[in-house]
Structure formats: C-alpha cells, structure tokens
Amino acid sequence: MQKLYALGAWKRDAEQVVAWLIENDFLNEERFAVSFARGKFRLKKWGKIKIKHELTLKKVSSRNISTALGNIEDQAYQQTLNSLISKKWNSLKTGTAAEKKMKTMRYMLQKGYESILVKPAMNKIAEGKA
C-alpha cells in the first residue's frame, strides 16, 4: 500500500490492486515470513528471538511468525548455535574464563539466541567438552 501511495495511486485503486495481488497469490504473508526466517537464519545466523522481533516490526501476524519459526529445524539451530559459540569463544584471545563467558553470552543474545540454550552449550565449550 505504501509503495502504491508513493507512486500516486488513489486509495480505492491501491486497495483493488492489493486485493488482486492477494487473490492471485502474489502477496502471501506466510510465504514471506517463512522465507524471511529461513534466509536470516541460514545467511546471517540470526536466532529465533531476533527473527521474531524483525517479523513483528514488519507487522507479520503472530500465527505466521510461529509457522516461520517452526520451519527452522531444531538440529540445524543447535548446530549453528554451537558453531557460533565456539567461533566467538576461540576468537577471544585475552581475558579470564568469566570475561570470555560474558562476552560470548552478550554476543549470542545480540544474535537473538535464547539464553536457556546458550548457557549449557557455552559451558560445554568452556570446559573443553565440545
């Protein structure tokens, strides 16, 4: 709608165009949400919290957000989480173990991962088990 308004379309005309696009499946919020979540997870390694926040900012319905997040495989999510933690941990050359944990935790939370998943994975890496 905003794009049509920017092009100078009248409200009634813009609504008709959008309705036609939705009817003919050119505009599909669920497809957008799933594609957005998949892309941000695979390419930018975002966590579910950050993806959910960004989709909310784009005014995607909560049902479609849930569907999109449900399409992220748990095994791939956990592998990515472990990989990011390991990479960050190994990139920190100085500091005590507590400082490394704090910096790694902050990094993972910024990426949008859940603290309940980050803490156990980080502890395994810190202890050298992973």
Q: How far apart are CA 83 and CA 64, in angstroms?
A: 28
CA-based end-to-end distance of the chain: 50
- Residue 129: the pLDDT is 53
Residue whose tokens read 């990515």: 80
How far does CA 116 lie from the centroid of its chain?
Answer: 17
For the stretch 94-128, pLDDT in tens is 888 889 999 999 999 999 999 999 999 998 888 87
For the stretch 45-97, pLDDT in tens is 999 999 999 999 999 999 999 999 999 999 999 999 999 999 999 999 888 88
How far does CA 18 lie from the centroid of its chain?
Answer: 27
Q: Are 50 and 64 in contact (CB under 8 A)?
A: no
